[in-house]
Structure 1
Amino acid sequence: MGKILGIGLWVCIVTLGAVYGSIYLATAPAGPSEEETKKAALELVRGEPITIPVLGGGDVSGYFLARISFMMDKEKVKGQALPTTELMTDQLFTLLVGNKMVDIANVSSFDVNAFREKIKTEMNTRLGEGMIDQVLIEQLDYVSKESARKAAAGGSAPMEKTTVVEGEQVEEKPASSGH
């Protein structure tokens, strides 16, 4: 009778252990998701603040104040021979000078997503396909020529500007410039 009771108790313990083990393994955390893996392969490269003249009628009518940063492929950034930030600034200036980007009279009609996509496409064409994954617009403001002159003359009032895009907050992590 004692042996049968011992064997029954043993079978119950083994069964409970097997059920516990299978539940534990079934609810084990999955590996990193595709989005987390992609994010880990990207690096933030901060853009420099740049001033882009707006040309109209053969004259400068105002200035865009811009700071655009990029989420870039870490491996491709390491392979760059030139400083990445300066290369991006040059490309942005080439892309945007003289380009009628925004109708200042109707700023609400500005298509931010199309603007980001154009920058991404042009930058990837120059730097290499897949280099730029995401375009982050930290600042995009417009200052008229008259307002800039008043501010340069030492006016006490703050410089009047039109915010074209509300800037995105970008983490202040030091980024490698590819060196």
Structure 2
Amino acid sequence: MYRITTETAADLWEVEALYDTCFAPGRELLSSYRLRDDVPKIAELSLLARDEGNVLAGAIRYWPVRVASTRVLLLGPVAVHPTRQGEGLAALLIQDSLERAAALGWQRVLLVGDAPYYQRFGFSKREGVIMPPPTNPDRVLGLSLGEEAWAGVTGDVTRDIDP
């Protein structure tokens, strides 16, 4: 059983250690990290999953970005400790956070990831949404949280410096 909570400032180093464990060295060199530079994460959507012993098992974060002039949520990173993978914890974090995002009024979610995994949550390839290089365009996925929310939304993805 896991308890889902929002990340606090006190959790920062523990979460960063989890990301370091789950991702290859140099993860912060990826183009999606440039979109996060000096931009506060969406605190209400940055969630943690802790077990009965209060051990961090998983984490997910979101950041505001813009596609042309339209505000969009950028999902990621999401990570589950290697000893907890295969338990459905990432899916739990993704589903819970997407429900919270919709309740907060967000209309669109963007991520860079594997389509076969994220399709089960409703994500699909976003034609015309251009992540900074070097991003494989086939991995740029989006989800509408509102009716046809992505209709007509195309262009370069940039930092949202005025959240």
Same fold judged by TM-score > 0.5?
no
Mark the structure with the bigger radius of gyration: 1
Report the structure, 1 or 2, having the larger helix content.
1
Report the structure, 1 or 2, having the larger strand content.
2
TM-score relative to the length of structure 2? 0.29
